[in-house]
């Protein structure tokens, strides 16, 4: 008898349909699997046979051929265990009913017949909806993740026996629906507050400007001045994620198996902080196997990527940032695959002013020579610095600031309200899906960045004195536009350009050398 089961295989952040055809015909008791299965799929036979036996089902008699179509697409992972087992039951006349053809099925089997969670549940649920199926049958632990998908029944099962009972019509299971409104409200997630950081009022101002316009930020200062604390509080002052943003971010996390099981939706803006020993592949994504995985760039999608001790990262790991920062996607091409991951994030980086870190600390003596300082600073390429909108100095705290144990400056809630108003002003101005000034192209810069005569004079003087590149010039304009939005001004005035130029401190320092 021939049975056909619908499942899916993950490629990038998408799930591609896989038709599992199981043919049980007279012959010797053998089982052959074709259709480019990887090692995990080939080993599924060793899990499926004990699972069938321990669940009270008989093993198919005769020869069994399992075909995974399309045959030219490599399949990997253990998510095909459950659909293959269901196909064996259907091909051996142990399972019948219309439901078998109405649901996409996925799940890993334990030897006792229990169903284990698998990565990629959300893309699989979306694939089932796109195929016009009634729903998806998958492990109970993946139900919250798949349940964010609308117009489809998400059926959670705990065992092969339970899946068999449902598909045969002998058991009714209530479809799982995830409460996305509660998750997106953010009320249940405590976050570190911006006012907990002592002093650094001008750096907090720079954080608000960066968040309001979606700008990249560089903080430079001695160790222990609060750079990491400030960066970790940036997601808390960004606007709450929309459902579309949360869904796209969750798809990235889903294929890596990092979605919180109890929530099912990445509803809080990600904050990724890889160690400076991270490799280029771990930053950009990819891998040596047949399945590429998202890197830190994509895991920070719609959130913040924080690189501490920037000059300590390898040159190749830093240079891989350049194109994704411009395009908002990262292209990974290898001999046997080509995928594109989304990676639109805010880049926040921190570094010391010199190898010993004491050059700008008035209480400590720097031991570095000018040549050592220049070599240290040159580890970060000019093209990468050009792509960072705001450079801000983070000085050492005074004794009075360190002794002050009271909240300082804006709270995260107050800052988020300011940022949200500025973002709303930008969305209203652009009206075409663009929501931040940092993403304006050249044509939009000319249209929306109208300068007063005084502002134009200041910008011209800064351009001559600092020797800014064309890209850095555009960055100054974008930041000035954000500053005007924070002041609810239609035109860019002198004070906006002057402050925007002050946020190019590293350009001033490099020019001084």
Query: Rounded CA gap, 373 and 278, in Å?
Result: 24
Query: Rounded CA gap, 250 and 308, in Å?
Result: 25
Classified as helix, coil or strand, 288 is coil
**With a cut of 50, which residues of the chain have pLDDT below it?**
510-513
Closest of 81, 126, 118 to residue 256, by C-alpha: 118
**Strands 285-286 and 293-294, sheet pairing:** antiparallel
- Plot region of 226 (φ>0 → left; ψ -120 to 50 → alpha; else → beta): left
- Largest Cα–Cα distance of the chain, in whole Å? 90
Q: Any residues with CB less than 8 A from the CB of 259 and at least 6 apart, and which? A: 121, 122, 145, 250, 253, 265, 266
Closest of 15, 24, 4 to residue 86, by C-alpha: 4
pTM (2 d.p.): 0.90
Query: How does pLDDT run across 397-433, given as a tens digit for each residue?
Result: 876 777 776 777 889 999 999 999 999 999 999 987 7
How many other C-beta atoms can be found within 10 angstroms of the C-beta atom of residue 29? Answer: 10
Residue 145 · residue 120 · CB < 8 Å: no
- H/E segment holding residue 138: strand 135-139
Burial string for 260-272 (b: 16+ CB within 10 Å, else e) reads eeebbbbbbbbbb
Per residue, what are the HEC states of 148-194?
A: CCCCCEEEEECEHHHHHHHHCCCCCCCCCCCCHHHHHHCCCCCCCCH
Residue 51 · residue 111 · CB < 8 Å: yes
Query: Rounded CA gap, 322 and 287, in Å?
Result: 20
Residue 92's pLDDT is what? 93
Query: Rounded CA gap, 96 and 241, in Å?
Result: 44
Query: Rounded CA gap, 411 and 197, in Å?
Result: 10
Query: Rounded CA gap, 393 and 506, in Å?
Result: 9
Q: Taking each helix axis from N to C terminus, what angle separates 412-430 and 470-486, rounded to the nearest 10 degrees?
A: 110
Q: Burial level of 441, CB count in 10 A (0-12/13-18/19+)?
A: exposed
Closest of 9, 18, 170, 148 to residue 99, by C-alpha: 170
Residue 179's pLDDT is what? 87
At 204, give phi and psi (nearest 5°): -65, -40
Residue 120's pLDDT is what? 94
- Give the helix, strand, coil percentages of the chain, each rounded to 5: 40, 20, 40
Q: How far is CA 376 from CA 17, 357, 443, in A?
A: 50, 11, 37
Domains in the chain, CATH or no CATH each? 2-167 (3.30.230.10), 194-412 (3.40.50.300), 440-513 (1.10.8)
- Examine residue 468 and say whether the peptide bond preceding it is cis (omega within 30 degrees of 0): no
């Amino acid at each position: 008898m021939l049975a056909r089961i619908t499942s899916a295989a993950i490629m990038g952040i998408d799930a591609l349909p896989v038709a599992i055809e199981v043919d049980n015909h007279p012959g010797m008791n053998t089982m052959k699997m074709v259709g480019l299965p990887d090692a995990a799929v080939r080993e599924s036979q060793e899990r499926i046979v004990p699972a069938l036996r321990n669940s009270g089902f008989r093993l198919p008699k005769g020869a069994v051929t399992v075909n995974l179509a399309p045959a030219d697409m490599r399949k990997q992972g253990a998510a095909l265990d459950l659909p293959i087992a269901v196909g064996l039951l259907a091909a051996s006349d142990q399972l019948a009913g219309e439901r078998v053809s109405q649901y996409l099925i996925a799940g890993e089997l334990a030897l006792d017949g229990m169903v284990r969670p698998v990565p990629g549940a959300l893309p699989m649920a979306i694939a089932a909806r796109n195929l016009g199926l009634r729903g998806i049958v998958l492990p109970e632990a993946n139900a919250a993740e798949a349940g964010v998908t609308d117009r489809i029944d998400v059926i959670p099962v705990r065992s092969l026996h339970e899946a068999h009972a449902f598909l045969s019509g002998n058991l009714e299971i209530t479809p799982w629906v995830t409460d996305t409104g509660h998750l997106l409200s953010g009320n249940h997630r405590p976050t570190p507050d911006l006012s907990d950081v002592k002093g650094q009022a001008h750096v907090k101002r720079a954080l608000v400007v960066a968040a309001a316009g979606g700008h990249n930020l560089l903080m430079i200062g001695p160790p222990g001045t609060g750079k990491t604390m400030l960066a970790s509080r940036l997601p808390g002052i960004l606007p709450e994620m929309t459902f579309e943003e949360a869904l796209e971010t969750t798809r990235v996390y889903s294929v890596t198996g990092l979605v919180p099981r109890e929530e099912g939706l990445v509803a809080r803006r990600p904050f990724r902080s890889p160690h400076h020993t991270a490799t280029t592949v771990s930053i950009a994504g990819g891998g040596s196997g047949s399945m590429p995985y998202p890197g830190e760039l994509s895991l920070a999608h719609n959130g913040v990527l924080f690189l501490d001790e920037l000059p300590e990262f390898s040159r190749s790991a830093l240079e891989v940032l350049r194109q994704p920062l411009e395009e908002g996607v990262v292209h990974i091409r290898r001999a046997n695959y080509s995928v594109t991951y989304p990676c639109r994030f805010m880049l926040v980086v921190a570094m010391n002013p010199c190898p010993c870190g004491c050059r700008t600390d008035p209480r400590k003596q720097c031991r570095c020579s000018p040549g050592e300082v220049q070599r240290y600073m040159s580890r970060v390429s000019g093209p990468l610095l050009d792509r960072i909108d705001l450079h801000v100095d983070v000085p050492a705290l005074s004794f009075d600031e360190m002794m002050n144990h009271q909240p300082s400056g804006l709270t995260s809630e107050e800052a988020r309200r300011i940022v949200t108003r500025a973002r709303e002003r930008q969305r209203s101005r652009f009206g075409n899906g663009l929501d931040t000034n940092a993403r304006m192209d050249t044509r939009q810069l000319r249209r929306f960045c109208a300068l007063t005569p005084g502002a134009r004079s200041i910008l011209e003087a800064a351009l001559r004195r600092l020797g800014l590149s064309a890209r850095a010039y555009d960055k100054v304009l974008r930041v000035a536009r954000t500053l005007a939005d924070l002041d609810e001004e239609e035109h860019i005035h002198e004070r906006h350009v002057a402050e925007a130029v002050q946020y190019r401190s590293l350009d001033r320092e490099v020019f001084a050398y």
